[in-house]
Amino acid sequence: MKALRPTRMERCIGCYSCSLACARMVHSSLSWQRAGIRIHSAGGLSTGFEAQLCLACDPAPCVAACPTDAFSQRRGGGVKVKRETCIRCGSCAQACPVDAVYMDLESGYPVVCIHCGRCVPFCPHSCLEMVDTTNGKKADG
Amino acid sequence: MGEDTFRILLVDLDEQKGDLIHFGDPTQALGGSGLGAELFAAYGRKDLPADDPEQPLIFAIGPLTAYFPLMSKVVLAFKSPYHQQYAESHAGGRLAMAMRFAGYDAMVIRGSARTPSCLIVGARRMEVRDVHYLWGQDVLATGKWLRKIYKGHSGHRSILRIGPAGEKQVAYASINVDTYRHFGRLGGGAIMGAKNLKGIIVIGDSNLDLSQGKEYRNLYKTIYRQITDSSAMRKYHDLGTPENMIPLNEMQAVPWRNMQTTHDDAAVQISGERFAEELLLRKTACAGCPVGCIHVGLLRENFASGYEYIYRQVSYDHEPIFAAGSMLGVTQAGDVLMLLEEMERQGLDVISAGVALAWATEALDRGHITERETLYPLKFGEAKGYQQAIRQLGGRANEFYHFLGQGTLAAAKHYGGEDFACVLGQEMAGYATGEAFFVSQAYGLRHSHLDSAGYGFDQKAAGKNEWAAVEFFLEEERRRVQLTCMVSCLFARNVYTEERLQECLSSVGLKKMASNISRQAKQVQANRWRLKFECGYDPSQIAIPKRFKQVRNWKGPVDEAFMEKLSKSYRLATAEVAKAGRFAATQSSESD
């Protein structure tokens, strides 16, 4: 089981291609926010960039906080999201220690990285990679 | 934006109020350059001076902004304080994407704030905030303070600001965008200064649903791959535009020391290779561009004994290296960065500032002016004197710097030395390639090397047919206008062919625009020329100074007779183009 890791963010040029790819391909959106990975500058452009995304916790505090089981534990870390049962309460976002859950302003639904890796080929500097979090043990997706 | 109408935020600084309006027809005006011209036709005052509070400052994006890679630029349309004519300047950074996600195709800013202010705009916000305490602060300090004053949306906002040069209305004051990009040329910064507008923050805080299907996503992927795999784009990332320095120098086509010569062996010391090997710290990008052409150099300064150092990060490119390097005879790469940093702090357009100081150096040497005027000794190659002079220029410290801040030719007219003022409509860009470039900048719409690539024509073995050159200028201009309506970075001009742009527009549902694009780009080209002429542009008033006629490069001496014939033909042709200009758009009375 793999999880997305921003292992080489010191190489980031701030092009937002990863966020745009996630928004476009996972969320059918044009956005630099409605994405599982979001890029911020760390106090001005002269200090480089940071990626804000799910750290693939196991157990995940957002899962524990979700009152309707819309968030469930993903094996290998992170969460699986079942939007049909989400009541848009925002508890998941409040529970996340690294602010990885974005509450979408238009729809009110949480947006979080699902560790699908579709953003990885869109990073021109190979800042991102999918890392095995289960030591090669077979896991469900 | 759809095909029905543009969504425009009108800002009235006098009243500190905004209005959201529907405006124009996107299938006709397209966006960017076309939208800017339409808005200027509707809101600009051709009869009033550029610094009149009524004049609009217009920021416009295009129909493909954020939808495709390198659709990352913003067009600024305004009346220039440099020549009192219609002008355009372009910048990248995060502004284009921030405007897309703030939900505005353009912002039109009019009036003058009561106190020095910062305009804060987002999808759900419009505020004019008093920042009188920032007046007088340089561009870098202002950026830091504005980030503190408005803390939210880090990474998803764009911060524009001016420095002392904009406040003092230097005619070539720039607007800094997100630290490393600029609306550099023709004095947009002075217009912000005239409006008491120290900064603008645009927050991209809304999200758009994509109804487009697989066709759009696949096209995006194809273009992304083409851009990131192509060797044509790699050059912009690897060494960047400074890779031009050595080849141009070998062609004897780099202006050195106020263009007294066009070749110097010292070029190697300020080459792209030297900067990359010794000073390049990192590269960064405009939002939505995977190329990453912004080269940031490390300026390390020893400020006291005992190994005391400070460091700064300064972006560089070919034009800045020409302006703060070869043109001033400065041949140490670190010194070039030091001067660029000072120009940056003052908020000066680096090309104009460097060329102006090169003229001042020669004027001082020839006795047209003395150190009483310059306040500091100016000698080619001596960076410390230039550093001081840049500060005086930004603050317009005395009468001399007041004139120089109006433009090199304005100073030369007052003190003498017009023959060696390197001015082609505005201070020259870094190419001494010959007749076509000199004419294309002198009589081009923006007086920019980017108008019509005259330097490219010079390098073709195209002979000396003035009408062939004019045809090349006009078609190249039309092709570039097509891109600046979208609004694409011009580095992607070989990726975004007309057919590719049509595919892009169709894939996002703008099918009528796709079928119109070629014809309407030509219309926009005419509209821009019409506005320029209506503002009083008289090409017969622009003379190419003697210094340009003395240039020798790889082709031999400049052919003065050919240059004269080409000038006349191009002037006639642009006047003819302007006649086809027409403006259809009218403001809808209905507000959102």
- pLDDT (tens digit per residue) in B55-86: 999 999 999 999 999 999 999 999 999 999 99
Q: Which residues of A touch B69 (CB under 8 A)?
A: 17
| pLDDT at res. B232 | 73
Give how far B173 is from chain A: nearest CA, Å: 22
Instruction: Provide the ipTM.
Output: 0.94
Domain residues of chain B, as ranges? Answer: 6-203, 239-396, 426-589
* Contact (Cβ atoms closer than 8 angstroms) between residue B440 and residue B565: no
Q: A-chain residues within 8 Å CB-CB of B2?
A: none
Nearest C-alpha in A relative to B146: A44
**Is the CB of A20 less than 8 angstroms away from the CB of B207?**
no
Task: Report chain A's terminal Cα–Cα distance, integer Å.
Answer: 7
Neighbours of B309 (CB within 10 A): 9
Read off the pLDDT of each residue in A94-123 and give the average, rounded to a whole number. 97
Distance to chain A for B154, nearest Cα, Å? 6
Contact B519, B507 (CB under 8 A): no
Between helices B383-395 and B350-365, what is the axis angle to 10°? 110
Residue ranges per domain, chain A? Answer: 2-127
Q: Angle at Cα B240 formed by Cα B58 and Cα B478, nearest 5°?
A: 45
Give me the torsion for CA of B50, B52, B55, B58, rounded to 10°. 70
Candidate CATH numbers 1.10.645.10, 3.30.70.20, 3.20.10.10, 2.40.110.10; the one for domain A2-127:
3.30.70.20
Q: Which of A24, A31, A40 sits opposite B154 (nearest CB)?
A: A40
Considering only CB atoms, which chain A residues are within 8 Å of B206? 105-106
- Measured between beta carbons, which residues in chain A are less than 8 angstroms from residue B217? 24-25
CA dihedral B284, B287, B289, B295 (to 10 degrees): -20
**Architecture category of domain B426-589 in CATH:** Orthogonal Bundle (1.10)
A46 CB neighbours in chain B (<8 A) are 179, 296, 313
Cross-chain CB nearest to B288 (options A20, A29, A43)? A20
pLDDT of residue B462: 67
For residue A13, give the nearest of B274, B344, B221, B93 by alpha carbon: B93
pLDDT in the model for residue A46: 65
CA distance B568 to chain A (A): 44
The strand pairing partners of A52, in sequence order, are A38
The answer to whether the CB atoms of B208 and A31 lie below 8 A apart is yes
When CB atoms are compared, the residue of A15, A39, A50 closest to B290 is: A15
Q: Do the chains contact at B207 and A30, CB–CB below 8 Å?
A: yes
Query: Which candidate in A8, A12, A16 is best for mutational testing of the B interface (most B CBs within 10 A)?
Result: A16
Comparing alpha-carbon positions, the chain A residue that sits nearest to B66 is: A30
The second-level CATH assignment, the architecture, of B6-203 is: 4-Layer Sandwich (3.60)
Q: Average pLDDT of chain A?
A: 92
Q: Taking CB atoms and an 8 Å limit, are B217 and A24 in contact across chains? A: yes
CA distance B190 to chain A (A): 24
Residue B10: predicted pLDDT: 98
Find the closest chain A residue to B290 by CA distance: A15
- The CATH number given to B239-396 is 1.10.569.10
- What is the three-state SS of B409-469? HHHHHHHCCHHHCCEECEECCCCCCCHHHHHHHHHCCCCCCCCCCHHHHHHCCCCCCHHHH
CA distance B375 to B542: 31
Q: Which residues of A touch B179 (CB under 8 A)?
A: 44-46
Our CA-based measurement puts residue B231 at a distance from the nearest CA of chain A, in whole angstroms, of 14
Q: What is the pLDDT of residue A139?
A: 46
Give the residue ranges of DSSP H helices in A26-108: 61-65, 91-95
Contact assignment for B207 to A33 by CB distance below 8 Å: yes
Interface of A to B at Cβ within 8 Å reads 13-17, 20, 23-25, 28-34, 38-46, 48-50, 104-106, 122, 124-125
Nearest chain A residue to B218 by CA distance is A25
Cβ-based contacts of A33 with chain B (< 8 Å): 101, 156, 204-205, 207
Q: How far is B178 from chain A (nearest CA, A)?
A: 7
Write out the H or E segment, with its range, that includes residue B194.
Answer: helix B188-194
Residue given tokens 């493909």 in the structure block: B64
Task: Say whether A15 and B287 touch across the interface (CB within 8 A).
Answer: yes
Give the closest-approach CA distance of B484 to chain A in angstroms. 20
Q: Quick check: B97 and A105 CB within 8 A?
A: no
A45/B156 CB distance under 8 A = no
DSSP, residue by residue, B88-149: EEEE-TTHHHHHHHHT-SEEEEES--SSSEEEEEETTEEEEEE-GGGTT--HHHHHHHHHHH
Confirm if B550 and B8 have CB atoms less than 8 A apart: no
pLDDT (tens place) for every residue of chain B, 592 residues total: 667 999 999 999 999 999 999 999 999 999 999 999 999 999 999 999 999 999 999 999 999 999 999 999 999 999 999 999 999 999 999 999 999 999 999 999 999 999 999 999 999 999 999 999 999 999 999 999 999 999 889 899 999 999 999 999 999 999 999 999 999 999 999 999 999 999 999 999 999 999 878 999 999 999 999 999 877 788 888 999 999 999 999 999 999 999 999 999 999 999 999 999 999 999 999 999 999 999 999 999 899 999 999 999 999 999 999 999 999 999 999 999 999 999 999 999 999 999 999 999 999 999 999 999 999 999 999 999 999 999 999 999 999 999 999 999 999 999 999 999 999 999 999 999 999 999 999 999 999 999 998 998 998 866 789 999 999 999 999 999 999 999 999 999 999 999 999 999 999 999 999 999 999 999 999 999 999 999 999 999 999 999 999 999 999 999 999 999 999 999 999 999 999 999 975 544 444 3
Helix (H) or strand (E) holding B502: helix B498-507
Nearest CA in chain B to A107: B207
Q: Number of CB pairs < 8 Å for A and B?
A: 100
Q: By CA distance, what is A105's nearest residue in B?
A: B206
Predicted local distance difference test score (pLDDT) of residue B235: 85
- Give how far Cα B115 sits from Cα of B53, B194, B436, Å: 14, 11, 46
Q: Do A45 and B292 touch (CB under 8 A)?
A: no
H helix and E strand count, chain B = 24, 21
Tell me the pTM.
0.96
List CB contacts of B424: < 8 A, sequence separation 6 or more.
Answer: B438, B441, B442, B447, B544, B548
Of A13, A17, A122, the CB nearest to B284: A13
pLDDT of residue B589: 40
